[in-house]
Amino acid sequence: MEALNLRTEVFKVAQRSNPSSLAGAIAARVKESGCCELHAMGPHAANQALKAAAIASGFLAEAGIELIVKPSFLAVTSEGESRTAIRLMIEPR
């Protein structure tokens, strides 16, 4: 079982999130604490999250850091309803 970093930053991604801005935040967080987590509900938000992870990978490649993205599902409650979200754990290789 892997230990969870207590400083893991969680970014909640919406369908209108700007992938480039989010990528910059991901890159900064990975450099600072080593990992971050993206949560996205819905296909458009999941698309924005994946694009941001890909862009962040490019940003960090320039610094010699290769990213690993681990996708999983996350049960969340939104507006009183139980829903499933996508969780992307992002960390350096």
Q: How confident is the model at residue 6 (pLDDT cuts 50, 70, 90)?
A: low
pLDDT beyond 50 at 50: yes
Nearest to 73 by CA among 85, 82, 81, 91: 85
Q: How large is the average pLDDT for residues 37-45?
A: 96
| Structural domain includes residue 1 | no
Beta strands of the chain (E only): which ranges?
A: 9-13, 36-40, 67-78, 81-92
| Structural domain includes residue 2 | no
pLDDT beyond 70 at 10: yes
Domain ranges, residue 76: 9-92
- CATH number for the domain including 64? 3.30.110.20
Measured at the CA of 22, the angle between CA 57 and CA 51, to 5 degrees, comes to: 55
Q: Tokens for 49, please give them.
A: 């999250």
pLDDT beyond 90 at 5: no
Q: How large is the average pLDDT for residues 14-22?
A: 97
* Domain count across the chain: 1
| Structural domain includes residue 39 | yes
